Amino acid sequence: MTTVLTYGTFDLFHIGHVRLLSRLAELGDELVVGVSTDEFNALKGKTSIISYADRAEIVSAVRHVDKVIPENGWEQKRQDLIDHGVDVFAMGSDWQGKFDDLSDLCEIRYLDRTDGISSTKLKEQLSDPVSLDVDRVREALDTLQQVVDNYRGLR
By annotation, the residues acting in catalysis are 44, 46
CB 89 within 8 A of CB 71: no
d(CA 31, CA 26): 9
Q: Classify burial at 155, counting beta carbons within 10 Å of its beta carbon; exposed 0-12, middle 13-18, buried 19 or more.
A: exposed
Q: Quick one: which H or E segment has residue 121? A: helix 119-127
d(CA 107, CA 131): 41
Q: Are strands 67-71 and 88-92 parallel, antiparallel or unpaired?
A: unpaired
d(CA 50, CA 79): 27
132 three-class SS:
coil
d(CA 10, CA 43): 16
